[in-house]
Amino acid sequence: MITVIKEEFASHLETIELVMKTMENNLVIASKLAVDTLKNGNKILLFGNGGSAADAQHIAAELTGRYKVERKGLAGIALTTDTSALTAIGNDYGYDKIFDRQVESLANKGDLLIGISTSGNSQNVINAFLVGKAMRCKTIGFSGRDGGLMNSICDINLIVPSDNTPRIQEMHILFGHTICQIIDNDLI
């Protein structure tokens, strides 16, 4: 067991060192998009599948509740939580439409979409970005590996340069927390 623990921690440290070398400037850009969105009275919509859905909900909760300090609630909505909408859209239109139909319904020009996909290729995430771009929303991707299709769609794609899904997911929540800290610093 000790060996597994040491290997997992070493793998995490290796990934975070890679991210620190490659993502600093992109995190600045992404954070500025998020701060500007909220300052302009717009909202942040987040979405992803599986563990990425959980991350979307986690980050939305940090915005609407609080991250570390008391402040007014901020407009963050996870498109992964309404089971009636998800199942109705999935049943009537297909699983690949579950997020873009919600973006079409809930987003406005100037809103920010944060789509999370470890591969960068999840079709329902890609579809939501395409609809959002047509509506003149801003877009941030959280991806892994080589960034996938999200590279050509997002305003900024925060790529974790790893093929290890757990490490990618760990960095995605770190990206979300870092953006939340910058939002708090800027808006308080």
**Domain ranges, ordered by start, for the chain:** 2-187
Considering the domain delimited by 2-187, tell me its CATH architecture: 3-Layer(aba) Sandwich (3.40)
pTM confidence score: 0.96
User: What pLDDT score does 27 carry?
Assistant: 96
The dihedral of CA 96, 175, 20, 164: what is its sign? negative
Give pLDDT tens digits for 79-102.
999 999 999 999 999 999 999 999
Edge-to-edge order in the sheet of strand 138-144? 76-78, 44-48, 112-116, 138-144, 156-160
